[in-house]
Chains A and B, each alone.
Chain A
């Protein structure tokens, strides 16, 4: 059976490379689109600066994707939206996954009362349905919603899954022989943490980071659909809010409906491909190496 496993790992790494490449291409495309938003004409932010409900025209870059019922060019709106959505995802991941990393490490390596307390803290946040809580948050703090506060609010829920993940990895590593031996040889707790445990955790931390980006963008979109996100800014979510509000689907304004939906799908799929190819690249090495 060992021989079978050798083949499997070989083909897996090739496949990962394909998936990784595909994911990377998608993300680079999105980043390029978002960078273009810095070259957008000033007036695109203002409602009714263009004739509304126009289908795509090849005459100018502004109108390449037509206009919305708000009288704004879809192309620039979407480019801006990608930027903001990515920012929100990124910031939430920065805060949330690192808080999760810390809590998970502590919960996985400590013993006794503190460990129990941390576990009983992590699990409820995973069980709780995130959206209703975030909705109440957003309702109460409607005034303060901005591109910087939304990630903070999202992080309140975002840290839980990474924490749980990191904890279980930390647990399994701590019980491995080489760590026990290290502790017998007198190496201190923090040294063990940093030099023995961390290398394994970092791989998972990266995966958690990317998954948190995906989750955060999904959540922000959900809040936006309910009208609870930052309506003054463009995010892919708020674009969908306006689309639904103006009944664009039924009015056949496909040039307005499709871009945000397709871009959202691209964001999710692109990041996910990278996430799984990274994690399965690291996994067999972790199991075999050490």
Chain B
């Protein structure tokens, strides 16, 4: 069997098991919630002063009972939960009763996706390129300096760094505005609107993105890229290139950068979970209108439908992205796998 096919099967299995495990863990957790809590939740909804349509209320009650295992046989409950998990249908939200939780979450989702894609891609590219360029040059001082800075940045989570950033840039030197961003409904009906929306997202995302990019690029990716570059420089084929008189620029791009891309893609796929988690907290701290802020509100009032929707969305999203990077992009990028003998 070709090695790639084996690798692909392994990745698919991992994907399926990830989803299965995560699903089951959350299922068991939900079961752990005592029934009294459900009634408390229903009271909370009533007390939130929403206009209660009796029909909606009964429907919500039904959903909550289903969710928390108070109705139906265990097997029924399991499959019902299975369906809900994969269709993100956890009933109405509490915050904005009776709008379905899914709808609310979808409103915040594009912001998070925009921030993540933007920040992660830039950080990865920037960190890698910086690591290569700085490590392969005659002057060692810049490299060592950046390395020392990177060592300090690396272990710091995004959100701690963002607290510092907020303090400096909002309080001491006001650059970023910190009022919650306006949230125009995101309806993308044409390319024009897509561009406008993207630009708006970019502008609002600049503060949280900055804290993610600085730590990610200068910390994580720089250090790993530097280590890999220095190791690659001692490889036989790089020395041979130097012997042939291949210029430093070419060596940096076609030999070293090209070579470290592959392990760095694997590293990226493994880091996606952590990046996502960090981004959630950062969003909340910057009052960025993404899933992070929504999650905070859901937690405060115990809005399980929204929290569960976000949970299943996160897990499925991250697992799929990891799979995509690990199975598809990896294949494209490594000729040893793509053109195996």
Contacts and interface: CB of A to CB of B under 8 A. Distances in A.
The answer on direct contact between A and B (beta carbons under 8 Å) is: yes
Interface of A: 1, 4, 19, 120-121, 123-133, 135-137, 139-141, 214, 218, 221-222, 225-228, 240, 244, 249-250, 252, 254, 257-258, 261, 264-265, 268-269, 271-273, 276
A225 B318 CA distance: 22
B228 to A, nearest CB: 15
A119 to B, nearest CB: 8
B29 A222 contact: no
B151 A276 contact: yes
Nearest to B26: A136
Contacts of B246: none
Interface string B255-294: 0000000000000001011101110110011000000000
B273 A137 contact: no
B15 to A, nearest CB: 8
Nearest to A131: B277
Interface centre among A4, A132, A257 (most CB of B within 10 A): A132
B333 interface: no
B62 interface: no
Contacts of B178: 250
25 contacts: A123-B18, A126-B270, A129-B277, A129-B314, A129-B315, A130-B273, A132-B314, A132-B315, A133-B311, A133-B315, A135-B311, A139-B307, A140-B29, A140-B30, A222-B278, A225-B281, A226-B284, A226-B295, A227-B296, A227-B299, A227-B300, A261-B163, A261-B164, A265-B164, A268-B155
A264 to B, nearest CB: 5
B285 A120 contact: no
Interface in B290-341: 295-296, 299-300, 302, 304, 307-308, 310-311, 314-315, 318-319, 322
B304 A139 contact: yes
Interface string B160-182: 10011011001100000010000
B22 interface: yes
Nearest to A252: B171
A94 to B, nearest CB: 20
A265 B160 CA distance: 8
Contacts of B299: 135, 139, 226-228
Nearest to B37: A140
B154 interface: yes
B12 to A, nearest CB: 11
B160 A272 contact: no
A140 B155 contact: no
> Binding site of B, secondary structure by majority: helix, strand, loop or mixed?
helix
B300 A129 contact: no
A248 to B, nearest CB: 10
B22 A133 contact: yes
A1 B315 CA distance: 47
Contact of A218 (B29, B157, B307, B308): B157
Interface in B132-171: 151-152, 154-157, 159-160, 163-164, 166-167, 170-171
Contact of A127 (B272, B280, B296, B300): B272
Contact of A273 (B26, B151, B302, B314): B151
Nearest to A120: B17
Nearest to A217: B157
Contacts of A19: 151
B115 to A, nearest CB: 15
B14 A124 contact: yes
Contact of A140 (B32, B160, B163, B300): B32
Contacts of A276: 151
Given A123-B18, A128-B21, A222-B157, A139 B167 contact: no
Interface centre among B156, B284, B295 (most CB of A within 10 A): B156
A249 B155 contact: no
B13 interface: yes
Nearest to A126: B270
A221 B160 contact: yes
B277 A222 contact: yes
Given A136-B26, A140-B29, A222-B281, A269 B307 contact: no
A218 B161 CA distance: 12
Contacts of A136: 26, 29, 307-308, 311
Nearest to A157: B273
A139 B94 CA distance: 15
A225 B295 CA distance: 12
Contacts of A254: 167
Interface string B192-222: 0000000000000000000000000000000
Contacts of A132: 277, 280, 295, 310-311, 314-315
Contact of B296 (A226, A261, A264): A226
A127 B18 contact: yes
A257 B152 contact: no
Given A222-B157, A249-B166, A269 B302 contact: no
Interface centre among B152, B163, B171, B276 (most CB of A within 10 A): B163
